[in-house]
Structure 1
Amino acid sequence: MKKEYKLLALDMDGTLLTSDHIISPVTSTWIQKAKERGVHVCLSTGRSFESALPYGEELGLLTPMITVNGSEVWRAPHDLLERSLMEPKLISDMHAIALKEDCWFWAYSTERVYNKDHWVEALERKEWLKFGFHTEDDEARHRILMQLQNMGGLEITNSSPHNLEVNPQGMNKAAGIRKVCDLLGLDMSEVIAVGDSMNDLAAIQAAGLGVAMGNAQQVVREAADFVTASNDEDGIAKVIEKFICV
């Protein structure tokens, strides 16, 4: 008997989006077919709401959204369900680490994204959601990781092999999807979660069907129930065709 899935939770960069940061016509068509089958299609991304929204609008999604790696869950576009903030002191400490390691860094507040080129000193006046580091120096990235782990109280993942993304502990895409399931009256066993990076790992492990993209990091592919084609080969379309529209 075919398993009936009711929620399709999609990472964006490296998953829904091609390397050119667009949704291919083929993938878009198959997402519409999933919607016609009554499946809820949920963007589950490390991006901010403002960055993710245009893609949701392009697909005509009025369903819940998970943004900033689960630190924000939206009932529907512009309708915030829950938001988890980071202490300004943690942001200050991570900023100091980034400066010491001389790496690229960024931080999401509820109002905008700040980065190495555009920073704000009055940290306590902002509501913070996430901090990120990027360096292609493996030793520097390892040093940063060790310092973050020593700080405690942090959820540490990545969205590429060369970065680290930091949220409040317990805030991840799996937690966000669980909240969406509660909202929709669904069980995690009815979820297909698709992604390519470490910030998708918890969701892939918790979902009824965890899918890794063909371009996913090795640890993500190993944890998945199914590995589809890459983001440049309409991997999501193939998932919908195989597991939803059969």
Structure 2
Amino acid sequence: MTPPLAVDIDGTLTDGTGAIDPRVMTPLREWPDPVVVATGKALPYPVALCHFVGIPTRVVAENGGAVYLEDDDALTFVGDREAAQRVVDEYRERGYDLGYGDVDFTNRWRETELAVSLDRPGEPLRELAAAAGMHVFDTGYAYHVTSPGVDKGAALETVCDRLGRSLDEFAMVGDSENDAAAFEVVGESYAVANADETAKRAADHVTEASYADGFLEALEALQSHRP
């Protein structure tokens, strides 16, 4: 049988331009076991994705900071957004901005962390975060200032507790260092070929194909395990 599936969005369900590859929609909708969308994006993005794909809303957002499951209709948050805000405020005081303009949809709905564009300097952000006891994830799409111990692996443990499933049952597909903690705790993990080195080292398998092609390759491999 197929395993429950956790899947990242950016770099995993997308093409090289950042757009969702339409070929992933049907396989996600037809996957026979629970699908959890686990992303660094703010909560509205994975919720909307589940809605438009046509699957139950089971999401991990903000790199593990937010978890919602339609199964029990409970939304939980972990992480210290106020601490992240203080780091970002100090970053601005040094003369940097977040890189998203006045109408900042990247951060508008974030509850547990804040993100900074990758075209802004990363080292001063990391220095300020470390001094504040915070962590910075480089997802390949943004720098995320978040609380230590908040990650997709811990969030998936919460998901499993609430679903009555085991982490060993789950498979995970992703592409970034923010997926590594989940790769290390699930039963089987796949990094797509475009993944960063941290993700590749943590994964059980690395696909030959990149982006959504790699995701579809991982699904094919997981389906081949069926008796």
TM-score range, shorter chain: 0.7 to 0.9
2:127 corresponds, among 135, 146, 150, to: 146
1:157 aligns with 2:142: no
- After TM superposition, the score normalised by the length of structure 2 is 0.84
**Whole-Å Cα distance in 2 between the matches of residues 23 and 135 of structure 1?**
20
Whether the 8 Å CA contact 1:155–1:171 is kept in 2: the answer is no
**Whole-Å Cα distance in 2 between the matches of residues 78 and 58 of structure 1?**
21
In structure 2, what is the equivalent of residue 243 of structure 1? 222
- After TM superposition, the score normalised by the length of structure 1 is 0.78
In structure 2, what is the equivalent of residue 57 of structure 1? 51
Displacement after TM superposition at 1:237 (Å): 1.5
Per-residue CA deviation, residues 89-143 of structure 1 (Å, 9 max, x unaligned), is 54133222144152435xxxxxxxxx55248xxxxxx984211223446xx4223
Greater strand content? 1
Q: Which runs of 5+ in 1 are unaligned?
A: 106-114, 120-125
Q: Find the residue that maps to 1:144 and give its secondary structure.
A: helix
CA 1:56 to 1:90, structure 2 compared with 1: closer, same or farther past 3 Å?
Answer: closer
Kindly report the root-mean-square deviation, in angstroms, between the aligned alpha carbons of the 2 structures.
2.6
- 1:182-193 superposed matches below 5 A: 182-193=161-172
Identity %: 25
CA 1:14 to 1:26, structure 2 compared with 1: closer, same or farther past 3 Å?
Answer: same
**Whole-Å Cα distance in 2 between the matches of residues 104 and 73 of structure 1?**
25
In structure 2, what is the equivalent of residue 180 of structure 1? 159
Whether the 8 Å CA contact 1:66–1:72 is kept in 2: the answer is yes
Q: Which runs of 5+ in 2 are unaligned?
A: none
The residue type equivalent to 2:26 in the other structure is T
Whether the 8 Å CA contact 1:98–1:133 is kept in 2: the answer is no
**Whole-Å Cα distance in 2 between the matches of residues 7 and 94 of structure 1?**
37
- 1:1-246 superposed matches below 5 A: 5-35=2-32, 39-76=33-70, 79-105=73-99, 115-118=100-103, 128-136=111-119, 140-152=121-133, 154-160=134-140, 163-228=142-207, 229-232=209-212, 234-244=213-223, 246=226
Whether the 8 Å CA contact 1:65–1:77 is kept in 2: the answer is no
The residue type equivalent to 2:102 in the other structure is D
**Whole-Å Cα distance in 2 between the matches of residues 50 and 17 of structure 1?**
17
**Whole-Å Cα distance in 1 between the matches of residues 98 and 170 of structure 2?**
35
Whether the 8 Å CA contact 2:42–2:110 is kept in 1: the answer is no
The residue type equivalent to 1:150 in the other structure is A
Whether the 8 Å CA contact 1:69–1:171 is kept in 2: the answer is yes
The residue type equivalent to 1:28 in the other structure is M
Whether the 8 Å CA contact 1:173–1:203 is kept in 2: the answer is yes
**Whole-Å Cα distance in 2 between the matches of residues 127 and 198 of structure 1?**
20
**Whole-Å Cα distance in 2 between the matches of residues 180 and 89 of structure 1?**
25
CA 1:47 to 1:163, structure 2 compared with 1: closer, same or farther past 3 Å?
Answer: closer
